[in-house]
């Protein structure tokens, strides 16, 4: 969620989906490991102790464990829950609201992200931290666009150079 960024995020969050493991591995190499090795090599020069490559390796291990759950589709029966809901009186339905059809997904996702920030990332939800995090994230988004522009322009120059070499 771009409106609730982590206050210590390192880059703009974005994702690609791919049905091909090869495409995934190539993107992972360029978007994670290449970036990680460059920053890890520069870390001693700037005095930082952050090591990105070990973090990316942990991420890859976690992804491998979760792969069966993220690549397969599962179907579960909710017949018991549905029959329980219909068996409740309107008063009990109001008192025990567990009908997923009534869930406000926008509010749920905001609460979910806030919970991850506080309980997993040890971040704070106070207005000053959120303001700082949003400002930092906007700068990272700008840097992301600049890096993309430079990369695309470099790629274009390479293809123009290659095209000229082949034709002339």
Judge whether 123 and 129 are in contact, CB under 8 Å: yes
Six token digits for residue 18? 């791919």
If one compares 74 and 11, the residue with the highest pLDDT of the two is: 74
Q: What is the pLDDT of residue 43?
A: 84
If one compares 38 and 75, the residue with the highest pLDDT of the two is: 75
pLDDT digits (tens, 9 = 90+) for 109-134: 999 999 999 999 999 999 999 999 99
DSSP one-letter string for 4-59: S--TT--S-------S-HHHHHHHHIIIIIIHHHHHHHHHHHHT----HHHHHHHH
Average pLDDT, integer, range 80-90? 93
How sure is the predictor about 11, in pLDDT bands with cuts at 50, 70 and 90?
Answer: confident
* Domain residue spans of the chain: 21-74+99-141
Residues 6+ apart with CB under 8 A from 84: none
As a whole-number percent, the residues of the chain with pLDDT over 70 amount to 99
How sure is the predictor about 1, in pLDDT bands with cuts at 50, 70 and 90?
Answer: low
SS3 label, residue 2: coil
Distance of alpha carbon 20 from alpha carbon 14, whole angstroms: 18
């Amino acid at each position: 969620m771009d409106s609730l960024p982590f206050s210590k995020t390192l880059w703009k969050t974005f994702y690609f989906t791919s049905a091909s493991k090869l495409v995934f591995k190539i993107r992972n190499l360029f978007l994670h490991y290449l970036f990680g090795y460059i920053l890890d090599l520069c870390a001693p020069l700037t005095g930082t102790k952050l090591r990105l490559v070990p973090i990316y390796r942990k991420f890859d291990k976690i992804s491998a464990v979760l792969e069966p759950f993220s690549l397969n589709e599962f179907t579960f029966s909710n017949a018991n829950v549905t029959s329980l809901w219909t068996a409740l009186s309107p008063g009990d339905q109001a008192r025990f609201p567990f009908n997923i059809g009534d869930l406000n997904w926008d509010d749920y996702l905001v609460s979910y992200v806030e919970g991850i920030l506080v309980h997993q990332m040890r971040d704070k939800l106070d207005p000053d931290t959120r303001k700082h995090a949003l400002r930092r994230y906007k700068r990272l988004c700008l840097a992301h666009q600049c890096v993309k522009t430079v990369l695309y322009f470099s790629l274009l120059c390479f293809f123009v150079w290659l095209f000229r070499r082949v034709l002339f």
